[in-house]
Structure 1
């Protein structure tokens, strides 16, 4: 009987800890996330991946909103927006952004620096940049 009670207690504790370890998502963003997924044709392999992508997407959204508040105060010269990369981690964006080598003025082959390219994906390149388009940047009226 003691063994049964002990086993039951352990099971309850495991269930509680697994629920507490789940990421807490902002339910107010449910419809916005669903619209974003539809717009960018996002399909995930299962509930675990969707929960992880949703968490990354929410963090990206917070970062974009914080940046745009600073831009409204004149601290930045550009605004950011959510795009098809908003559910990707920084590491995934680094891996996925490989540009072909470019020829410089002397005809030598050179590689575009990964950090500069990733800055563009993160929306950290100013709007006057002509080298790499800033996919996260939006114009403010």
Structure 2
């Protein structure tokens, strides 16, 4: 079987890192128990979930003459809106994701994962969840 694409390997490694987010590891939440690489793995809006997806792959403008790329990804957590502390939980999850990825390098040919933006959505598209989206960028060499 062929080796996976480097971007998929990056996503798998980031997902593995995020799966360490548990209270017994010093984090605020246990969202690491619900990490997925496919949105369909969280079909139930009544439980928390964290999905990691790729958004784009671009040439690294800071390294125009090499085989350097930037993978833009999104870690999206959903929390049931029925929870009395749903927004507070979103803030805790965002802080945990940020802390888990701070200064962490996902591959030997990559730079540390950067948290670019954090966006909070209240019941997106009328769904029974509140959502926090953590935009990530990963610079790597092919």
Higher RCO (CA < 8 A, seq sep 6+): 2
Alignment TM-score > 0.5, same fold: no
Given the two structures, how large is their TM-score scaled by the length of structure 1?
0.27
Bigger radius of gyration: 1
